[in-house]
Amino acid sequence: MEFTDYIPTMANLRSVLDIALVFIIVYVVLKLFRGTRAVPTLVGMVILALLYWLAVVQELSTLEFVLRYAVGFIGIAIIVLFQSEIRQALMYFANRLRFPILKNQRGQFGGSVYDEIVLAVTTLATEKTGALIVIERNVGLRNFIDAGVQLDARISYDLLVSIFHPETPLHDGAVVIQNERIAAASVFLPLTKNPEISRELGTRHRAAIGITEGSDAISLVVSEETGLVTYVEGGKVRRNIEATQLRKVLLEALEIPLIEPRRDLAAIKEETDVTIS
């Protein structure tokens, strides 16, 4: 069999691969857009495309003229309208296609550093002290860190609880964790513009959602009204999460092996409550 006999087969395989890649991209994009404000806009664009087709078929010259010249601005309109969704899609692909050598090395101190965060959040929730902690992952938050009060301090339970105490000047705003250190405090974050967010969620929760929509960061929120702990990732909110469950989802999100802490979090919480009382 000559080499030329393989050409049709290779061409067919190339076509199959081409169609498969397009299908995967369209599927992932539609999955990311599902349930977002982009859906009604996409529907509107489909309606405009149908109107243009109708204008061409029925020879509606005026409508065809208007829609034909409007097509040139669709690219700009898509970027403006879907900027957050496009950013989320690009981060989605980047996080799944990055090579192992390019991955951030996480968990060099094990889970103990994040146990300090969980313990601090649990204590703040018991005292109904409002708090917002943002943990950077692969997308850098340097522009937000530079706008806050830079600390570059080791993560500790005492420092976190002290920062969010209502009498301290740094309690208003968020704490940003970068490379397993407290990079900055009193950081102000962009608020989510998602109209489907419950009106029960205040500014602190909306900021926690907003930063996770524009990056792959994780946010932990303590409500000063109810004392409930909220975990936010990718714009998705999980409210009223317990300490043990919070530790589990936090370490899983940061790709840190889940190892049982040296002391049970519930026992530590009880000791803290006794100390406070």
- Print pLDDT tens along the chain (277 aa): 554 554 555 567 777 777 887 777 777 666 666 655 556 666 777 777 787 788 778 777 777 777 777 766 666 766 666 666 566 666 555 555 554 444 443 433 445 788 899 999 999 999 999 999 999 988 888 888 888 999 989 999 999 999 999 988 888 889 999 988 999 999 999 888 887 787 888 889 999 999 998 888 999 999 998 899 999 998 889 988 888 888 888 888 887 766 555 444 545 455 555 444 4
Nearest to 89 by CA among 30, 144, 20, 23: 30
What's this model's pTM, rounded to 2 decimal places? 0.61
State the amino acid at position 108 in one-letter form. Answer: Q
Residue 271 lies in a domain: yes
Clarify whether residues 134 and 46 are in a common domain: no
Domain range for 151 is: 112-276
Sheet with 149-154: list strands edge to edge: 149-154, 181-187, 174-178, 131-135, 218-222, 229-233, 236-238
Clarify whether residues 78 and 168 are in a common domain: no
Nearest to 106 by CA among 259, 262, 257: 257
Clarify whether residues 261 and 211 are in a common domain: yes
What pLDDT does residue 127 have?
Answer: 92
Clarify whether residues 39 and 84 are in a common domain: yes
How far apart are alpha carbons 93 and 136 in whole angstroms?
18
Domain count, the chain: 2
What pLDDT does residue 11 have?
Answer: 60
By the 8 A CB rule, do 163 and 170 touch?
yes
Q: Which tokens sit at 165?
A: 């105490």
What pLDDT does residue 251 have?
Answer: 87
Clarify whether residues 116 and 211 are in a common domain: yes
Q: Which tokens sit at 173?
A: 């705003």
Q: Which tokens sit at 226?
A: 């109810």
What pLDDT does residue 102 have?
Answer: 41
Out of 97, 120, 135, a domain closes at 97
How far apart are alpha carbons 277 and 268 in whole angstroms?
14
By the 8 A CB rule, do 144 and 178 touch?
no
What pLDDT does residue 193 have?
Answer: 81
Clarify whether residues 62 and 139 are in a common domain: no
Nearest to 32 by CA among 175, 200, 213: 213
What pLDDT does residue 67 have?
Answer: 73
